[in-house]
Structure 1
Amino acid sequence: MCESQLPTSESISSTQESEPNKRMKMSVTASPPSVTLSIPSTSKSHASCLICKKPGPKLIVVTQYARVRAFLRKKMFVPAGSRCCPKHIADKEFTDDALQQMQQTNPDTNINRTSIVELLQQTREFALRNESIRLNFDDAKSMDNEDYYNLTGLTKDQFDELLSYLKDVDIRATKTRSVRTCIAILLTKLRCGMSNHLLGTLFGMQKWQIRRAVLTAKHALMLNFVPHHLGFSHITREDVKENHTRPLAKELLCTVTENPVILVLDGTYIYLQKSGNFTFSRRSFSTHKHRPLIKPMIVVTTSGYVVSVLGPYLADSKNSDAKILTHMIETNVEEIKDWIKEEDIFIVDRGFRDAETLLNDIGIHVEMPSFLPRGTKQHTTEEANATRLVTKLRWVVESVNGRIKTWNYLDRTIPNSQIPHIGDYVRIISAICNKFRPDVSTGLESDLSTAAKMRFLSKEVNVLKEYVETNGLDKRQVRWRKIDASDTSIAFPQLSEEEIRELTMGVYQIKLAKSYAQEHLDKDGTYEIYVNNDHDGILRAKLQSRHTSAKTYLLWIGFDEINIKSWFCKCKIGSRVVGMCSHITSVIWFLSFARHRENPKIGVRSWCSYVDDAAALPVDDSDSDEDSLVGNEEE
């Protein structure tokens, strides 16, 4: 052996010294077989249940998954090998009742290295799963009812009931999403109006996976859910008459011997992007809304139950509401001609006027607001009263349209690539509303008395209108004395909002009245009140139009110290006696109710101070003088 290869004394000594040191280091870093941690733990028993303490023999061993979930939710460690009754386990973990009954036996836990590693590994997997999946509809305990409703428009129980309509063959579960997740993605998209990119972030999926999930869920709901809750074939005429027709509608429109079906029809608007296809761009452009859109036709009952959704249709002049209804009848869509019968009543707006002849030919009665004859500025009292009877019932379809738009996807400008699916989306939402929402307007106990009152008043004349026109109170030469609306010397009756609602026969006028009164209270407002000493008990006011700055309306109110006797306004519908217009309501609401309150809520907040006004420019006196001189010279 070479000398260089022989071990030296230094190498021998270093080797001899390194072995003890190495053993010492290992003894310091190595942990004992088990350690004691300050974590509460339950009892460990093979013979009895750790929850209810009942003895076997049908006990099951608590799995590692259930033990980790109990630690995360209860902050209590369940020893390995512990057993419990099968009823305490659901979905592979302890039930809520079991966690509440779980009791601490020891304040500390003796846990070995293997259990610590398993606990850390399971906790890591839960953390990674929650990091990649922000919304987890598969875990029933991860979200409460409020979360479900905010995201999907349904409570947790309603969501589960919706899933009961679906079959496994319609939606195939994959590694990335379950059936619940698939339906949740579609409803979240419709409810929140989110893009597929954002949904992919929330659900931990790719954009193309979101798109496939939405289409799959839409197809399954259209096949198995929508036909049970939407369409003329899903409901009988008798069901509509008995369960979805307001008594108010029957009293106002039907005779004692008749029992027809009463339907309310109107189109809603789904706004679109501008299209590069010029033909479609022209056909989808609405001259009424001045933007591209398509129109689904909504057919509802007087209680707000959606009978059917037809279309969507184009929005050009060839697709007016009247032509859409004509197309529905002539093509017998959904076999509508077999469903409706003679003497049935359709409540529509003025846009359906060209279809009235067709409906009359097949025996359908049409109820429509009156038209203002050319050359006139105001409806007669009879026309205004008849219009109020119609609008008292027709508002429900507008409310249904608003309910559908609470699913924000349909309330926004939709990409043109989604046009093939819009009709299905509207039908799915309408079916959900029918199934899980109460009717917009239910029968009230006061319906019969309200209907009788409205029918009686509809035959009356406006005596104050005749008095004003006969005595020339609308002429300029009549002297009126201006007073402050807050003047308590005026002997105007004091009423509650409920009593005012009985006069207006609706709540819409009261809502607008507060905004009209707000403009009066502004320092630059034009809301003025006048009294005339020659005509006791008559008050005159002038209100600014909410639509046109150059237009104001004169109105008169007859009153005494106890009651409001009569009213008359110069607006289009101001001569009616079945209820009153918002202008008259504004004066009555302020004088009889608001001014007697300490801090009444009048109108809504004005945001003008937060926005620049280009009209508010400093005026140069010299320039204004020159302008006035030029004006005089021109005159």
Structure 2
Amino acid sequence: MEAKCIGLNCKTSLKYKYAVRDQRYSRYVQEWMKPLLEADGIATTDVGEAKMCLKCYTRYLRKRLRSEPMVDDSNTYESKKSNCNHVKEESVSICPTVDDLFFTPSSHRKCCLCLSYTEQTATIPEKARFQLILFHRIWDSKSARSCADHFIGKDLDPYFAITAAGREKLLLYLPDKYKEVINDLLRLSYQLGSGKTSFSFNLKNMDDQDCLAGTGWNMEQLQELHSRCAHLISSQCLSTEDCLLLFWVKLKTDISYTQLASLFNLHKSSVSRIFHNVAQSLEATIVLLYLGSEHISRENAINHNTAFTNTFFSDNVTVVLDGMYIYIGKSGDHEFKEKITAGRKKETILNS
């Protein structure tokens, strides 16, 4: 059984067995092809059954790339945050069925989430793929690619709005994708049933009391710190709020980087990098503005004097400089050498 390619002036015959099972030989005509086919004078009434050879498919895909703009990176953090409620409203609380799932084919240049074309894409993490099924009713294959800024670590960015507009039902692709769909659903049900979901320590699951116990700050104070230094914190593993949480948990509890990596479900090197990044951000935005000799009055400085300082220096501002030992070479002067040599350490030292 053979079928003809629907492409303009194309006389290629498509064998039935290749057209159904081997995607290298033919493609089903998709919704985005309708305007391009109609512009060529081709009727699109039976698009669901029409097929196209790989050469024509590539030709129409190039036309689409020329007609559609590249992805716009002008979305800011605030605009994403404003769309958070919109994402929650689209999430359906009832259990999804196969009839409810959508599917979006993608390529190395097309993002399957924002449906835009970009030069830099990455494969979707498995955890994010499961979140798409549960919360957004969208199934994507393992080879599907997306913009890297749609994720925070292995999770979906909660501030990124995902809609079903412009997507096709998964049922249209189920004859070719049924094995992969079933395997994904079985793996998801196994992880949920066996309780193997990874533990993640984050700010959105904490109340004011937990935040105070873990960081020494209440939720309002931590949000105030975040508003001042968030623009300088950069991490692909955690959100800026959780980066600040990690920093203060480390200072409050003095636990190791390995323990922090287990709490936040990260690699040890990522924890170290985030900690130093937050420290630099706080130094640039908080420390220089609120600490130092220029930000304390004389009365407050005198109040910091100890009883020992008041006895010897009375009511004067006192500055204590902590000295250190400086190692120097031996001297030819025997008397000077005896004064600066430590017999216990057997080294020549000079107390500055």
Tell me if TM exceeds 0.5.
no
Q: TM-score, normalised by structure 1?
A: 0.21
Whose radius of gyration is greater, 1 or 2? 1
Provide TM-score, normalisation by structure 2: 0.36
